[in-house]
Chains A and B, each alone.
Chain A
């Protein structure tokens, strides 16, 4: 929302505060000001001039003009009458008109505050005519979109040499760019009136809203011959006020007017006097208005007198809107109908069939409120984000429709004569009253307000306040639709007086309980990164194709219905596929080998829902080891796995692989299940070749995955790191065992350890060798052992060695 600071400041005492400080205060106590667009010098050296002489130059679209600028411009050549020569290509330029002249040295307003401001100078045209400055169109002045001709100023206002800015009050303005989001609950601040009331409160000034808004008086008699029937559904349209007008002047204004300048500074554009009046009133009050052509309205409905029926649209109903698009409606949309024929999409846009134009004889003005919930959906469905619907979807108060309609009648009195006012609301509802104790206020804010202070703060913004001991009773004005409970009042007191004036104080409270899962994650993060692995994060959402590639069923995955792209359509079932997916890019980037790991939550559907019917997730660790070169990476992955599990003091076994619904990407012949007792901790293995082909990864790429919750429950007590040495000499031996090619390593190692039981020993495998075609393989170990209590004799050593060498 754009707000003209000049407009806002009208009626406020701001002499003692700089604009900068005012904006700061607004930011601290009302709403974030995203930016201030400084237009203070936007209209410098731009004047109203009279065209004294105008001659078309044959064979061109140009006119040679002499203008009277009241002699204000410098650096220009003047003729004997003191007039300045300007060439003009606009078709509507004519002698005697008052135009707007951008003098040499001025910036064309359209380009002001852009990257390339354009400064006007003297130009030579058609090689021989000097042209000083330019006469401007509405678009060049940034006061409209019209480029069909130059703007004309009403002679009644015009004085040659007067600046454009002065001519229209003061265009030297600053525009506040307001972040709407934090005002979602404050419909009143979407009008200058309400915004100004807040600023008054912030400045500690008492604001009094004009009675035309708070106690509207209808200044015209209803013409009893005028009939209008209004039927509303109060759930969709709580209140509908309408005034029937008779046109007294055609709805055209050939001149640039003040409204156009105000609309431009509020981010809108002038259209026609009546439409402009509706928009100006909306900007002032927050209440959008709509004008129907009475005769067209009646013609569409086929009734004798207008019959307005506000109802929910029917599914499939169509309505051609003002902008030419045809909206397909459904039951959520609200339509204004003429005798049941839709003529407007309520709150959003009217239709061409009832639009006012230059020939409009009579007008029906609508000032109504609609269900913001319905309008919000309408807005989303039809993609309409006008200034009007933006205000409606904040929930404009029903209390203002009549006052605003009457205000419009005054504003548009030059063009329209009011005949009769109709209103669906016969009596004003009683205002809401909220009570709050002083203790509640100070107890929630940590402040020290007195009852008088609270009263003043609230009364400044027109709450009616009475104090009863320490209880503050507040009557809520109708425009504050956001105030319902004591806390709402407490917020107002804190906000208007400045939350920043409340002293920050640390509370005293207990100590924290450690979080095991975070501690575990931290430990794993440290463990792997210290061993050259890289922690990554990847999206929780994956492509259906990715699941297909790794053999996971899409049905086992929650599907996002409004995903950004197909790549992000499913919630992943496990982490390893995401890591495989990210490996290729890293290989291609030139990394020869790497270990990626991620700890995150996964939500396969087969985990079901918890007792609150919310999907159950699982914290998982995924790890992938990928290499540029084709090689078996199972053993390096296993080394990472084993080092982690032993650092966590988890006793585990690596047993035959069991596949399940989510782990089908492992190659069963080269994979294993990781168990601790009866509990499956996870899986390790090389990835199937056809899966790897899908990811363009080399054969032998290996991975493992672990359930973090199971790691936590399996996490053991500290393993004894007791380091024992013997006082007696150790025996150092390298041995090689020849065993059957299908003999399992762990069985062999277990036998060796059984032999060495009771000694202080070290046992380290050094190689596994198998000659091509051989039915046996050689396992080599380096062994050191000593007795705890004596020096081993040769015979004893030889006996042990024999036992070791007999293992197979």
Chain B
């Protein structure tokens, strides 16, 4: 699947296109398919996202998994600070992105 990610303009937080707007959680990411570039252009122009780009990902039984480790780390948070990730209570979360 093709998913879209970027950062919130004001806060810089990592966000993911969920089909209607931008979510903080990669598991909410929707398949943008062939509309990826059009969505990026529209959303960036409206300042609802900053520096967006499209990436490959797959939907697994545990959620949406970006193809590249860089985006998996973006989706979770720094692997060396589990307390600052989006899943601080899940000790397995860091291992699963690597």
Whether A associates with B in a native complex is no
